[in-house]
Amino acid sequence: MVAAHHLSSPGHVEVAAGLVFHQGRLLITRRPAGTHLGGLWEFPGGKREPHETFEACLQRELREELGIEVEVGPLWCTVQHEYPEVRVQIHFYLCRWRAGEPRALGCAAWKWVDRRTLRRHRFPAADAQLLEQLVQTRKVWESAG
Ligand SMILES: Nc1nc2c([nH]c(=O)n2[C@@H]2O[C@H](COP(=O)(O)OP(=O)(O)OP(=O)(O)O)[C@@H](O)[C@H]2O)c(=O)[nH]1
Ligand SMILES: [Mg+2]
């Protein structure tokens, strides 16, 4: 009973999220109102399903949320964060946009931002350090995508 409860616990989730670059810009999406952290901007992605790799999860989530195809590149970082409602472990992958004009299928909005405009958007607390690194790492904006 205890083990089964633990396995099905909604308290801990594993997430893959994409740093999707194209022509020096980065794709961000807005979480729908009424969801966890609704209204904040984020890097598109979502929860990994059982037996799914993080790369496959990310490709699926980007199709579902935006209708785009990407090439998943190297892992940029992994972040753990405890929200009052849930403990998340998020794997952020560098990606290149490949096909499909983004559409707001599973998000409230989307936009391409550059190194200067990224910081004008409010993101979840878990993303704070990553945002700082991205803004400081000039070459990732120049080379990726
Ligand atoms: N995708 C994404 N999730 C993030 C980021 N930062 C962050 O704290 N999270 C949290 O990580 C979890 C991701 O789950 P999600 O809600 O995107 O999952 P999902 O797309 O599978 O949604 P669903 O469960 O409604 O199908 C949420 O609790 C979300 O608030 C981020 O930059 N990108
Ligand atoms: Mg999601």
What token pair was written down for 9? 């616990």
Q: What is the DSSP letter of 72?
A: E
Consult the annotation and say whether 42 binds a ligand: yes
Q: Is residue 96 part of a domain?
A: yes
Whole-angstrom Cα distance, residue 31 to residue 6? 28
CATH of the domain at 97: 3.90.79.10
Please give the pLDDT value at position 144.
56
Lining residues, ligand 1, CB within 6 Å: 13, 15, 17, 36-37, 42-47, 61, 81, 86, 88, 90, 124, 126-127
Q: Is residue 31 part of a domain?
A: yes
Whole-angstrom Cα distance, residue 35 to residue 61? 16
Q: Indicate if ipTM > 0.90.
A: yes
Q: What is the DSSP letter of 35?
A: S
Q: Which is nearest to 81 in space by CA: 133, 27, 15?
A: 15
Nearest ligand atom owner, CA of 16: 1
Strands 87-99 and 69-82 come out as antiparallel
Helix (H) or strand (E) holding 3: helix 2-7
- Tally the domains of the chain: 1
State which ligand 1 atom lies nearest to the alpha carbon of 125.
Answer: 8
What token pair was written down for 28? 């961000």
Rounded to two decimals, the pTM is: 0.92
Find the domain containing 25 and state its range. Answer: 11-140
Q: Is residue 4 part of a domain?
A: no
Q: Is residue 103 part of a domain?
A: yes
Q: Per-residue pLDDT averaged across 41-66, rounded?
A: 98
Read off the amino acid at residue 80: Q
144 contact partners, CB below 8 Å, separation of at least 6: 19, 21, 73, 94, 96
Residue with the larger pLDDT of the pair 105 and 143: 105
Please give the pLDDT value at position 10.
63
